[in-house]
Structures are given as structure tokens and as C-alpha cells.
Amino acid sequence: MTTASLDHRFTEFLLDSQALKFGDFTLKSGRKSPYFINAGAFNDGRKIATLGAFYAEKIAEEIKAGNLPADIDTVFGPAYKGIPLGVSTAIALTSAHGMEVGYTFDRKEKKDHGDGGMMVGTQLADGMKVLLVDDVMTAGTAVREVIPKLKAEADVEVVGLVLSVDRMEKTKDSDLSAVRAVEAEFGFPVFAIANVREIFEAGQHIETSDGQPYVTPEIKAAADAYLAQYGA
């Protein structure tokens, strides 16, 4: 029996978790989108463990392909949404892939008592290899905020960024997607478990409980029109 591809299985998980919504949504960018991915839907132990396993599988895949180093020191998830991503990914890398890897996240405000500092978890040190994880990239704002924080702590090497979904949208000031713009600006690779085109392709073949495809021709047409306008 052939195992379904990673992007197909991940799409099933998004739909099962009700993290992928169809309708009319206004994004932070101000764009009106016919779909929305809500990371807040991963709100219990099973879902966040499964999500971490998907991240770990993607990371292991890219290590095998030679696109990420095998000796990652810590997985960094930016506060707040990135915290459970970093923790669950580090657990899955250790338990399912035999990697000894830490997790780190930042505080929104520096703590001046107790252990102090801006970072929680594995503390950063010069020469460490740090892998970033985040949910969905639309503009790359979170990355631009977090890189200076990392560099202020130590001379670390950011080896890459892994996202759940690449929306494949061009930035407001170029024809590059946010993912390609971040790669060009910072010099590290960005990977996604799935991109929106893969998700909409897979969703046409995944059925609801009443036997209908999640992605109907109408939903697909709306997504295609949106990507024709904003896609990169």
C-alpha cells in the first residue's frame, strides 16, 4: 500500500483539526482571503503532538536531502504561537528521529529576577546551530523581529526556518514571495510542510463525513482567483 505524501497527510490533519477554514477573511496584511489557517485550532495534547511530529518529519526529510544539518543544537519558536511548535518539534525529533536537540523561545519582556534574561529553555551560545519554526508566513514580520533578538544573545548560526504552510503570496513591495524574500535577506533556507497549492490540490480528494470533497470547485475557483492576484 502506498503511503500518502506528507503534504496530503498534513492537509487531512488541517481539515480534521478545523485549522483550515474557507470563507471570507481579512488578513493582517489587509488582503481579503477565501481561506485562513488558524494555528489556535491546535489546542490539545493530541493535536500539538501530531503537529510537532509533522514538523519533525519535514526536518528529517530536509536533513536527509542535505538541506539542513544533522547537528542542530536547538529548535527556536518565537513567542507566543511558536512556543508549543518549538517544544513539540523538539520532543518529536528526539523520540521519533533519535536527535538530541533542545528547544528555546523568547520572552516578550526581559526578566530581571530568577534566571533572568530574554530566552527560556536551551540557552544560546556562540557557534550554536539554531533552527527556527513558525506557523504560517504571509509577510515575514516575525522572522525580522526575532533574528536581532537571537544575534543579541550569541553569535549563533540560523540554519533554516520550517513553517507549517507557505501561503505563496508576494510581498507588498516586490514580486517575491515572503518565503523567497526572507531567504534572500537572511541567507538561510525556508521550508514548509505544505504550500497552499498542494493543500488545495489534496483537499479536492479528501472527503467530508457526508462524502463531499472539502475543496469544492467553488472553493478552488476562489483560491485560484486569489492566488492569481496575490500569488508569487
214's CB contacts (< 8 A; 6+ apart) are 15, 203, 204, 206, 207, 208
Strands 20-26 and 157-166, bridge-based pairing: unpaired
Name which of 158, 190, 183 is nearest 74 in CA terms: 158
CA distance 133 to 55: 8
The reply, when asked if residue 141 is annotated as ligand binding, is yes
The reply, when asked if residue 184 is annotated as ligand binding, is no
The reply, when asked if residue 111 is annotated as ligand binding, is yes
Identity of residue 25: F
Residue 84 DSSP SS3: helix
The reply, when asked if residue 134 is annotated as ligand binding, is yes
The reply, when asked if residue 121 is annotated as ligand binding, is no
The reply, when asked if residue 140 is annotated as ligand binding, is yes
The reply, when asked if residue 222 is annotated as ligand binding, is no
Specify whether 111 is catalytic. Answer: yes
The reply, when asked if residue 71 is annotated as ligand binding, is no
Q: Where are the beta strands (DSSP E) in 30-169?
A: 32-37, 74-76, 102-111, 117-121, 129-137, 157-166
Catalytic residue among 32, 64, 110, 111: 111
Asked whether the beta carbons of 137 and 166 are under 8 A apart, the reply is yes
The reply, when asked if residue 31 is annotated as ligand binding, is no
Specify whether 110 is catalytic. Answer: no
Residue 97 DSSP SS3: helix
Which residue in this structure is represented by grid cell 514580486?
175
Which residue numbers belong to the known binding site for 5-phospho-alpha-D-ribose 1-diphosphate? Answer: 28, 80-81, 107-108, 111, 113, 134-142
Q: Kindly list the catalytic residues.
A: 111, 113
List, as residue ranges, the binding site for orotate.
138, 167
* Binding residue ranges: 28, 80-81, 107-108, 111, 113, 134-142, 167
